[in-house]
Chain A
Amino acid sequence: AQTVTQSQPEMSVQEAETVTLSCTYDTSESDYYLFWYKQPPSRQMILVIRQEAYKQQNATENRFSVNFQKAAKSFSLKISDSQLGDAAMYFCAYRSLNNNDMRFGAGTRLTVKP
């Protein structure tokens, strides 16, 4: 079974600065999808960004971008120009194309300092 590891339980960043959250995963598959979800204090899970494994180009969504290293099985999230509203738990997730199973990491709690 695929596993997703987020090695940073907590991270902090100064407002307007850039922060990178790490995620690694273990799989023997060649095609899959990777996601980053944000869970603010309201606990509503919000999709931040998606990456298809067959695409070499890293996905970007406004201030959010990923560094997808397929060979290294690494999928980090970069948040630029951090805002107070970015403070949340961030979960990395892996979805196999063979089934609809989605595997989540344990999460990274991001604090944004004013």
Chain B
Amino acid sequence: DGGITQSPKYLFRKEGQNVTLSCEQNLNHDAMYWYRQDPGQGLRLIYYSQIVNDFQKGDIAEGYSVSREKKESFPLTVTSAQKNPTAFYLCASSILGAGAPGEQYFGPGTRLTVT
């Protein structure tokens, strides 16, 4: 079955600790994305990557870091510098290329709670 997996589904951390959220896809998609979702708000882009070993900041990249060492994997680290890390995090991927509509396919999400 092709798709995007995120683990874990729920994650709890103490304030001041870094935490890494996993995202893996077997769709052979070029691009991958990380979004944050807060109540009453839409999705806000944290980082995205169009190719291995390259990534760009989104609207709210401060306090987050990513890596893209493999096409299939795009882990997100929430650092202690992120002021308000408790949120629902969604990973997505899409095909790139001329003429491609670029709809994004999403993983099931990770709910991060920091206390």
The residues of A with any CB-CB pair to B shorter than 8 Å are 4, 9, 33, 35, 42-47, 50, 52, 91, 95, 100-102, 104-107
Secondary structure of the B contact surface, majority rule = strand
Which of B48, B90, B103, B108 contacts A47 (CB under 8 A)?
Answer: B103
Chain A contacts for B45, CB-based, 8 A: 101-102
B94 at the interface (CB under 8 A from A): yes
The residues of B with any CB-CB pair to A shorter than 8 Å are 31, 33, 40-43, 45, 48, 50, 88, 90, 92, 94, 96, 101-106, 108-109
Cβ B42 vs Cβ A102 within 8 A: no
Cβ B101 vs Cβ A100 within 8 A: no
Given A100-B48, A104-B42, A106-B41, A43-B104 contact (CB < 8 Å): no
